[in-house]
Amino acid sequence: LTDRLTGIFSRLQGKGRLTEKDIDDALGQVRRSLLEADVNFRVAREFVATVKERALSGEVLESLSPGQQVVKIVHEELTDVLSAGDHRLTPASQLPSVLMLVGLQGSGKTTTAAKLALHMKRQQHSAMLIAADLRRPAAIAQLQTLGNQLDIPVYSEDPGSSTPAQVATAGVRRAAELALTWAIVDTGGRLHIDDELMAELEEVKRAVSPHQTILVVDSMTGQDAVNAAEEFHRRVGLDGLVLSKMDGDARGGAALSITRVTGVPIKFVGTGERNDALEQFHPDRMASRILAMGDVLTLIERAQEAVDEEKARELERKMRTASFTLDDFLDQIQGVQKMGGLASVMEMMPGLGRQSKKMQGQLDESELKKTEAIIRSMTMEERDKPDIIKGSRRRRIALGSGTNPADVNRVLNQFKQTQRLMRQFSNNPKGLMRMLR
């Protein structure tokens, strides 16, 4: 227990200054994390360079370790990139506002069309779905089924006698007659980008001049999603993205790549096959997910609150002079509790989330409370000189804290172990920090 407790706190003490080596070490991990999340390698490289510049020049928080400082900057930068542009979907002044969905086959256009229509309906806006995918006969039927489920009108024509542009035009006209707020145009896709598809989409776009052209991107697609998106943006012109299938285990690196390369904002996130599985986009959550670092930022914020600088400096001084007392030990334990308890701290630690269940046995919260009670039952003299705690004092402390003498011994041993670690720290701070990080 003590080792880990000390480990957590050493992470929180930090060493005050970021060296270029600290930054490079941490950014190496960040770069790997980005590539694992399917961020385009070009984007990852540029991004890391930006972060390095900021980390070298930026201010330093005493209460964070170098790794955490860098992660904090990375998280802020990621959130910045993902925050670019307007994430809302607001209707135009004239009726109807036309929204055209484009994307590769299977990306989730038709599903997203229905989800958006439901979303609009729930906002007291009326909508019509327009079936302008004439490439697959089943596409029209799919949209009609969804429209029926949601009680939303669907406009379609016989695919044999019209072009997608004609269907879209007639559908928008119908929506105007009905004075609907939105006309949502579902279009055809191909497995890969090709000229014919692009020409078809250009024609539809010219015919209905959409207020919003939205690319639906399957979040499971890897690095080449960015190439497809660039091509859609170049040929058709995009106003926004919907990232589908985020309910899977994709980390959403494609989102970062596409937003960074095209500058097009993410509007919504698809989180399931159901019609209501559409969520507002949250840049900060996406940033955490891309980094796969749990809720690192929350942890960092809490750490900053819990360890005020004064105390950190005081503890540092004590470590240097190796005068670490039971009162300091108690402070450490309270710090952990202030942060929401060990279990929640561990949930948020990169790489520990999964292990936290297993480790909870060793880091039992009730054990922490017991430890606190035991130290509180000691007199000031005993806290200063724990060596004087023998038979009768031990019994008194156990009685006062509702524990037994064996528990008192355990706490004293843990304390001694921590004290030993602190002495080591004062002899070789760098080595210990590295070991604990």
By CB under 6 A, name the binding residues for ligand GDP: 103, 105-111, 189, 244-245, 247, 270-273, 277
Looking at the Cβ atoms of 151 and 249, the one nearer to ligand GDP is 249
Q: Least distance from C-beta 139 to Mg ion, angstroms?
A: 5
**Around Cβ 358, how many Cβ atoms within 10 Å?**
10
Looking at the Cβ atoms of 245 and 383, the one nearer to ligand GDP is 245
**Residues facing 99 on adjacent strands:** 184, 212
Looking at the Cβ atoms of 35 and 277, the one nearer to ligand GDP is 277
N-term to C-term CA, the chain: 16
124: left (phi over 0), alpha (psi -120 to 50) or beta: left
Q: Quick one: which H or E segment has residue 403?
A: none
Choose the one of Mg ion, ligand GDP, none that binds residue 40, judging by a C-beta under 5 to 8 angstroms depending on kind: none
Let me know: does 386 contact 429? Beta carbons within 8 Å: no
Q: Least distance from C-beta 14 to ligand GDP, angstroms?
A: 40
Q: Which stretches does DSSP call E strand in 201-327? A: 212-218, 240-244, 266-270, 278-280
Where helices occur in 136-267 by DSSP H, the ranges are: 137-150, 164-177, 195-208, 225-235, 253-262
Looking at the Cβ atoms of 105 and 337, the one nearer to ligand GDP is 105
Looking at the Cβ atoms of 272 and 400, the one nearer to ligand GDP is 272
Looking at the Cβ atoms of 109 and 383, the one nearer to Mg ion is 109
Q: Least distance from C-beta 282 to ligand GDP, angstroms?
A: 16
Choose the one of ligand GDP, Mg ion, none that binds residue 181, judging by a C-beta under 5 to 8 angstroms depending on kind: none
**Residues facing 100 on adjacent strands:** 185, 213
Q: Least distance from C-beta 429 to ligand GDP, angstroms?
A: 49
Choose the one of Mg ion, ligand GDP, none that binds residue 16, judging by a C-beta under 5 to 8 angstroms depending on kind: none
Q: Least distance from C-beta 66 to Mg ion, angstroms?
A: 49
- The vertex-18 CA angle with 26 and 1, nearest 5°, equals 65
Looking at the Cβ atoms of 2 and 107, the one nearer to ligand GDP is 107
Binding mask 90-109 for Mg ion (x = CB under 5 A): -------------------x
Q: Least distance from C-beta 81 to ligand GDP, angstroms?
A: 23
Let me know: does 370 contact 407? Beta carbons within 8 Å: yes
Let me know: does 305 contact 296? Beta carbons within 8 Å: no
CA atoms of 19 and 308, how far apart (whole Å): 23
From 110-118, 247-255, 288-296, 349-357, span contacting Mg ion (CB under 5 A)? 110-118
Choose the one of ligand GDP, Mg ion, none that binds residue 140, judging by a C-beta under 5 to 8 angstroms depending on kind: none
Which member of 6, 65, 110, 419 binds Mg ion (CB under 5 A)?
110
CA atoms of 103 and 115, how far apart (whole Å): 16
Q: Which residue is nearest to Mg ion (CB)?
A: 110
Looking at the Cβ atoms of 105 and 262, the one nearer to Mg ion is 105
Q: Least distance from C-beta 110 to Mg ion, angstroms?
A: 3
CA atoms of 223 and 254, how far apart (whole Å): 7
* Closest to 112 (Cα-Cα) out of 91, 135, 133, 95: 133
Q: Least distance from C-beta 12 to ligand GDP, angstroms?
A: 38
**Around Cβ 166, how many Cβ atoms within 10 Å?**
16
Q: Least distance from C-beta 350 to ligand GDP, angstroms?
A: 27
From 78-86, 138-146, 279-287, 383-391, span contacting Mg ion (CB under 5 A)? 138-146
Q: Which residue is nearest to ligand GDP (CB)?
A: 270
* Closest to 75 (Cα-Cα) out of 216, 362, 282: 282
Binding site for Mg ion (CB under 5 A): 109-110, 139
